[in-house]
Amino acid sequence: MSCPSGIGPDGATLLGQLDVGSHASDMGMTITEKILARASGRERVSAGDVVIAKVDRVMMHDVGAPGVWDVFQELRSKGVDVSKIFNPGMVWMTEDHFVPPPDPKSAENIRLMERMAEMYGIKEYYRFGLGTYGVCHTLAYEEALVLPGQVYVGTDSHTVTSGALGVFATGMGHTDVAYILLYGKNWFRVPETLLFRLNGALRDGVMGKDVILRILGDIGADGANYMAMEFAGDGVRAMPLDDRMTITNMTVEAGAKNGIMAPDEQVVEYYRSKGKYGFPVLSSDPDAEYRDVFDYDLGALEPMVAKPYSPANAVEVSEVEGTEIDEAYLGSCTGGKYYDMLQAARVLRKANRRAKARFVVVPSSTNVYRRMLKEGLLDVFLEAGAVIGPPTCGACIGGHMGVLGPDEVAISSTNRNFPGRMGHRTSKVYLASPATVAASALEGRITDPRRILG
């Protein structure tokens, strides 16, 4: 939801004009409502309320930061003081979309980010070629840059990924982020919540990507417009954190404002391992009010594939099995995490043969890359004939390192398959889990990974 234009020099012009009257009932609150209530200094809020909420963390990357800079220059021309930001410590940045820079404009954007970091005193800055860096949504988790119970915004629609850790995480436009950088807060309409109860356990060869594709296929690309998608149940608790983040990552593909899971002991222990304590462990009340509730038996799910040209155009793999492919792409914030790489490598090890389609593998962070090296996963991919690239969003957004040509067909672990998303507008992208991508790479056509795993 975008903040209206016309920010006043005192930073209060618009926020003071909003109707923030509560419509709260006596019902309990969802976890999303609890976080927004805490952030806005209220005892309770309900869906539909408009609140002025304190933002805890802000992320910018090499595509978003230049847009925020442009907003700052426009505000400066209108007399707004943009010489400093509200709190440099709330901001972190990473270079991830066009790195290493494939063209002069991308390099210029990196230089602009360097200038912004120096000018505004931003210390948490992850730069390619200078140690730890990677795709923003993976880094947020690996480096514990956001904490449960926080309000977190980023210049990227897939900021919703961090909701798997109990964070209210959402992507926002350049104007909104510029405002937050200057004043430390923004207005939000409290979203209605859809509850997805995930029960049971996934079978071998089925992953979190299959869960969210199944859900998207059921509710559609607009099935959660400006809503929160909450996931609960013993099926969530049985999943590794990487798989959980795949699910929340793609909630935006249903139009959701945020995706979220209540933090459990696995989440708490993870943060303890990072030396993080003292954050609130929130969960929805038993009598919380939901717009709708959906139940899924994870043990009954099949591997899924989203056909062109929508992530919601999802079908069971059997419907498209045998479709010939030119490229198999394993990477991105959705499919380049450690667990994603591990599951793909399991398929390759089981088959012990080379790929029949062009195979591009891009770990989502240097941390993932180092772990793959240490545990021998890089060798597994190399022996299968894959090319392994440095962490980047590149091919996922049709930028570089795996871009598709005219009429080429790819199966990809990424999150979007719109026309031209990964290259030429006549190319076609099928979205699938890392396990399905690996199996398809080996066969040169879309393949159910269970055929290889046995």
**What residue type is assigned to position 264 of the chain?**
D
**What residue type is assigned to position 104 of the chain?**
P
* pLDDT for res 304: 98
**What residue type is assigned to position 409 of the chain?**
V
Spatial distance between the Cα atoms of 286 and 181, rounded to a whole number of angstroms? 36
Counting as low any pLDDT under 50, the low residues of the chain are 1-24
Structure tokens at 14: 């618009």
SS3 110: helix
Cβ atoms < 10 Å from Cβ of 111: 10
Quick check: 343 and 314 in contact, CB under 8 A?
no
* pLDDT for res 27: 84
**What residue type is assigned to position 319 of the chain?**
E
* pLDDT for res 41: 97
* pLDDT for res 255: 98
* pLDDT for res 25: 57
- For residue 151, give the DSSP letter: E
Quick check: 352 and 326 in contact, CB under 8 A?
no
Report angle CA 152, 153, 159 to the nearest 5 degrees. Answer: 95
Terminal alpha carbon distance of the chain: 46
Quick check: 312 and 216 in contact, CB under 8 A?
yes
**What residue type is assigned to position 78 of the chain?**
K
306 forms bridges with which residues in the sheet?
A: 314, 431
Reported residue count of the chain is 454
**What residue type is assigned to position 390 of the chain?**
P
54 sits in the region (left: phi over 0; alpha: psi -120 to 50; else beta) called: beta
